[in-house]
Amino acid sequence: MQNTIATERLLLRGLTQEDADFILELVNTPEWITFIGDRNVRTLGDALAYIQAIIDNPHYRYWVVCLKESNRQVGIVTVIKREYLEHHDIGFAFLPQYSQNGYAFEAAKAVLEAEMQSGRHTHFLATTLPANQASIKLLLKLGLRFEKEIQIENTVLHVYAIGVF
């Protein structure tokens, strides 16, 4: 499995315990809480436990997105096999101060290409809340297309898809 991905401006690498400060900041942004959900990560210890749970789950792959120039962590791209989806789900989240710079598109495109070229995946799905217009715009720009609406517990999600069907 590829451990790093480099793009013109970014370096993507696997999530480690050394990312705890960054994860603590990211999961407590208003955008994360609104569109992904409150993960109850309030302390550095909580962040370390959250990261360890991700690392220990064979169905989760988190890429930390860093700026090449400064090595500053600015976001994540995730590849997750969810029980309620037929194929892996690609997701992304970025610190608000690094939004609107094309980083999410650059990083998510690189992950999609690397994963599909590896032969591990021929299809990807993405889920989002219908109100998350920024994510929907990015998914469409990445080439994903609306497939269906599903309900998970009490939440309505839109499912987008890309791949050879």
Residue-wise pLDDT tens digits, 44-96: 999 999 999 999 999 999 999 999 999 999 999 999 999 999 999 999 999 99
Place of tokens 């892996």: 88
Task: Evaluate whether 163 touches 126 at the Cβ level (below 8 Å).
Answer: no
Name the residue range of residue 32's domain: 4-121
| 161 located within any domain | no
| 130 located within any domain | no
Burial label for 26, CB within 10 Å (0-12, 13-18, 19+), is buried
| 151 located within any domain | no
Say yes or no to pLDDT of 1 above 70. Answer: no
pTM of the model: 0.92
| 145 located within any domain | no
Task: Evaluate whether 94 touches 74 at the Cβ level (below 8 Å).
Answer: yes
| 157 located within any domain | no
CATH of the domain at 68: 3.40.630.30
Can you state the percent helix, strand and coil of the chain, rounding each to 5?
35, 30, 35
Which residue type sits at 97? Q
- Give how many domains the chain has, as a whole number: 1
Task: Evaluate whether 107 touches 146 at the Cβ level (below 8 Å).
Answer: no
